[in-house]
Amino acid sequence: MPTQSAPKKTAFFPLSIGSRGAIGLMVVLLLMTAVRGDPVGETNAVLNLPRGVVWLVDDAEETVTDEELMRLPPVDPALSSPLRRTRCLARAFPDRVDSWRSHEPTNIRDPGPDTANFPNSPYTLPRGGIYLETTPMVWTGASRPRQPASWNWEYLLRLGVTDRFEFRLFSNGLTASQANYGQQAFVGIAPLILDAKVHLWGEKPEYILPGAGIELYVQTDWASPQLQSGTQPGVALLFSNSLPWDIELEWNIGLGATNGPQSGSIIYQETLQFSFTKPITDDFQIFVQGLVNGSSLPRFASSTVLGGGFVRYMGRRTVLFASYNAGVEAGGPPAVIQVGGAAAF
C-alpha cells in the first residue's frame, strides 16, 4: 500500500490524523519491522550455535573462537545459503536476526499452499523460497441474478523475500463466462493482484495465542476490458490455532473492496474465511471450510459459501488439492468446484 511522507514545512503538517491514517501508519511499521527482521518471539541465532561451529558467511574464510563468536553481532545465515537467489535477497534485505530455514530445501508442507482452501496461512516462505500454486479447474455455477456460470484458471506465485515477508502475484487468470441475464458470453484475463504477506508471530498454545500474520493486496486494472473493475485494495489478518485431535483451525478476518451499486463506485465490506483441517495420514488431509462476503483474495463474488475438500502431498515439492463448495444463501452460487496443485522451488 503506497504511503506519503509528511511535508518538511511544519506550517503544512496536519495537527492530527484520522483513524485511516493511524491504521496506515501501523501497517507501515509492521512492514518495516518484518523487512528489517526484528526478532518476533525468536531467540538470538548466535546464542543457539553448538560449540565449535563456524559461521559460513560469504567472503569470510577466517575462523573464530567461541568467545570471539559470542561477541560478534548476529549474522544472517541466509548469506551462506546454497541458493544464489537466497544470498542475493539476504544482501538486498538484511536481517539482524534470522533463523536457519534458508539453509533447508524449500518444502511444500512448510508453510503449505494458500489456495488449497479459503483462508490464507499466517506463515510465510523462507527467504528465497518459491511456490507456484495453480488451479486450472475453478467452476462457479450461475447465481441469480448476480453472475453467470464461469470457469477460470487461477494462479498464485509466492516469493520469500525474508523469513517473515512474502511477495505474491495472484490472478484468477484465464476466465470464460457464459451468457446469462442479458450478459454476453466472453473469454478474458482476470486482473493481476499485487500482494504482500507478513508473518507477525508463531502460535503460543500456553497463552492460547494463535499464530498471526497480515496480508495487504491491491487489485490492479491490468485485465481484459470485460473484467476491469478499477483499483481495489484489501487487508486481512491471518490466524492459525492448533486444536485437540490434531485439528488445525485457520481463520482470516479482513476488509475488502468490491463494486458498488453505481457504475464505477467501490464499497468496502468485512470478510471472514475459516477452515478445519484434519490429517488422515502423513500425506493426506481433509478439511471443511467456509467464507462470508468473499475470500482472503478476490476469488469469488460476495456470498456465504460452505464446503470441504482434501490435500494430497506428493513428496517434498508437489501437492494436489480439490474441494466442492456451495452457497448457503439466496443468490449464492449453487456449486464452486476447485481442482489444482502447487510446486515448491
Which residues, 6+ apart, have CB-to-CB distance to 149 below 8 Å?
Answer: 139, 140, 141, 142, 177, 178, 180
pLDDT bucket at 74, cuts 50 / 70 / 90: low
Question: How far apart are the C-alpha atoms of 311 and 307, rounded to whole Å?
Answer: 14
CA dihedral (191, 132, 334, 304) positive or negative = negative
pLDDT in tens, 252-300: 999 988 776 676 678 888 999 999 999 999 999 999 999 998 877 888 7
Lowest mean pLDDT among 27-36, 98-107, 111-120: 27-36
pTM of the predicted protein model: 0.76
CA dihedral (212, 41, 111, 278) positive or negative = negative
pLDDT score of 36 more than 60: no
pLDDT in tens, 121-142: 999 999 899 999 999 999 999 8
More confident residue, 345 or 28: 345
Backbone angle region of 50, left / alpha / beta, with phi > 0 → left and psi within -120 to 50 → alpha:
beta
Mean pLDDT on 191-201:
96
Decide: 168 and 160 in contact? Cβ < 8 Å.
Answer: no
What are the phi and psi torsion angles at 4 (to 5°)? -125, 125
pLDDT for residue 69: 56
C-alpha cell at position 13: 503538517
What's the gap between Cα 115 and its chain centre? Answer: 9
Element containing residue 36 per DSSP (H, E): helix 19-36
Question: How far apart are the C-alpha atoms of 123 and 101, rounded to whole Å?
Answer: 13
What beta strand segments (E) does 40-180 contain?
A: 130-140, 150-160, 165-177
C-alpha cell at position 211: 499464530
C-alpha cell at position 233: 485494495
pLDDT in tens, 216-245: 999 999 999 989 888 999 999 999 999 999
pLDDT for residue 19: 42
> Which 3 state secondary structure label does DSSP give 149?
coil
Mean pLDDT on 167-191:
91
What beta strand segments (E) does the chain contain?
A: 130-140, 150-160, 165-177, 186-189, 192-201, 211-219, 232-243, 247-259, 266-279, 284-292, 304-313, 318-327, 336-344
Domains of the chain: 16-103 (no CATH), 106-344 (2.40.160.40)
